[in-house]
Chains A and B, each alone.
Chain A
Amino acid sequence: MNALNSIPISYYLIFCSMLFCIGVIGVLIKRNALVILMSIELMINSINLLLAAFSAYSNDPAGQIFVFFIMVVAAAEVAIGLAIIVLIYKTTHSIDIDVLNKLKW
């Protein structure tokens, strides 16, 4: 395996950019609060993959350590986010964000 056979880093950049944009579109389009949370997780995962790819290509382990800590924060965030969504459903019986607009003017 020489350098001619490897995937150039720009392929990883393009792939992760497309995953990130699909996540952004998901946050903007969907009305279900669970699917919005899942699109945020998709965005976080695309960034994790890009960090790990740059770390592997530059032979620098700091990128993979950073991915480890991002996974820590994302797991804690999902736990709290789902607890909040279940609590909202218990009080208002809906997780449609068009219905939950009491914070607006």
Chain B
Amino acid sequence: MFTDFIFYFLSGLALYSSVMMLLSKKPIHSVLFLTLTFFAIGGHYILLNAQFLAIVHIIVYAGAIMVLFLFTVMLLNLNKDERSPKPLWVKATAIISGIMLGLVLIGVFRGYDLHLIKHPLESQIGLVKELGQILYRDYMLPFEISAVLFLTAMVGAVLLGKKEQI
């Protein structure tokens, strides 16, 4: 009962803040609403007992990526944004297409059910110890390749930020 209430509260908070992210006029408000959405999704991870993913999600998304977005918004100093807004028929078409996509997805998934375990709060596979065993035993190669990917991204970001001509 209590977990049901937490699920509905977190879902409502995530949906409300993601809609407000689209509706706010200033980009800094959008960044802050998206941070609130990420915190709500982190709460959902804890509800599924995916503890490792919850902590990694909070650290990576709310702690690193959103801070990066905040610095970029503050660096770019965007204040003149009302030059020529998109025409109304474009916005209406986009919203109607998005709602139709949502209706199709919800209509497909409405009756689907899965009763393999009793309660997701009791699942044991999200703990750090279990996930660590599987990550370092079965998925060692993607783990090492992701380190190479990070190195590539770092070199690329530094190269794109250099002042002089390359």
Contacts and interface: CB of A to CB of B under 8 A. Distances in A.
A9 B114 contact: yes
B135 A79 contact: no
Contacts of A62: 134
A70 B130 CA distance: 19
Contacts of A24: 97-98, 101
The DSSP consensus for interface residues of chain B is: helix
A101 B17 CA distance: 30
Interface residues of B, number: 86
Nearest to A99: B83
A6 B111 CA distance: 16
B34 A29 contact: no
> What class of interface size applies to chain A in its complex with B?
35 or more
A11 interface: yes
A64 B111 CA distance: 24
B119 A80 contact: no
B102 A18 contact: yes
Interface string B102-118: 10011001111111111
Contact of A8 (B48, B113, B149, B161): B113
Contact of B156 (A37, A78, A80): A80
B157 A80 contact: yes
Interface string A25-43: 1101111101101110110
B34 A83 contact: no
A77 B60 CA distance: 13
12 contacts: A7-B4, A34-B31, A53-B48, A54-B114, A55-B126, A56-B50, A62-B134, A72-B149, A79-B68, A80-B156, A82-B72, A96-B81
